[in-house]
Amino acid sequence: MTTLIWIAAVLVVIGVYLSWTAGRLDRLHARIDAARAALDAQLLRRASVAQELGTSGILDPAASIVLYEVAHEARQAAEEQREVAESGLSQALRAVFDDEGQLEAVREAPGGEQTVAELTAAVRRVPMARRFHNDAVRAARAVRRHRVVRWFRLAGHAPFPMAFEMDDEPPLVLGDRAVGR
C-alpha cells in the first residue's frame, strides 16, 4: 500500500511539473504574440511617418521618391519579405537624413517640429520593440529545447518561434545624440 502511495505521489509531482512547464510555455508564446503585435505597430508607425514625409513635398524630389517607395514597400511587404523591406526603410531613412539639411528643411516647414518628433520617436521605438520580441523568442526557444518539452510535446502545435532580424539603426541626426535638440 505504501508503494502505491509513493508511486501516486511521484506521478502527481511529475504531472504538476509538466502542467507548470506547459503553462509557462503557453505564457511565453502569448508574450511573443504581444511583443510581435507591438513590433508590428511600431514598424507601421515608422513607415507611415516616412511615407507622410515622402509625400509632403518638404524634402528634395529624389529623397521624397525614395522615402515614399521604400516606406510603401515596407507597409505592403509579405510576411516572408518583411525583414528585408523594413531594413530597406532603415537604410533609406539613414540615406535621406544623412544630410542635416533635410532635417532642417522638415523642421522649418509648418508642423515640422511635430513631424520630426514623431519620426524620432518612431525610429527609436522600433529597436526597443524588436529587442522585446527577440527576447521573448529567445526565452521560448530555451524552454522548447528541454528534453521534457520535446518528449511530452508540451508545445503542442505552436510553430517554432522565429526572431525578427532587421537593420534598425536610426539616422545619426535622429538617434540618441539628437536627444538634446
Q: Which amino acid is at 19?
A: S
CB 129 within 8 A of CB 36: no
- In this prediction the pTM is 0.89
Instruction: List, run by run, the mean pLDDT of 10-residue segments along the chain (181 residues).
Output: 94 95 95 98 97 94 95 96 97 92 92 94 96 98 95 92 96 67 44
The Cα 98–Cα 93 span in angstroms is 8
CB 40 within 8 A of CB 133: no
Residue appearing with cell numbers 510581435: 36
pLDDT at 70: 97
pLDDT at 138: 98
Residue 89 has a CB neighbour count (10 Å cut-off) of 27
pLDDT at 46: 97
CA-based torsion, 81, 84, 87, 91: positive or negative = negative
For residue 98, give the C-alpha cell.
Answer: 544623412
pLDDT at 176: 59
DSSP string, the chain: -HHHHHHHHHHHHHHHHHHHHHHHHHHHHHHHHHHHHHHHHHHHHHHHHHHHHHHHS-S-HHHHHHHHHHHHHHHH--GGGHHHHHHHHHHHHHHHTTSHHHHHHHHHSTTHHHHHHHHHHHHHHHHHHHHHHHHHHHHHHHHHTSHHHHHTTTTTTPPPP-------PPPGGGSGGGTT-
pLDDT at 113: 94
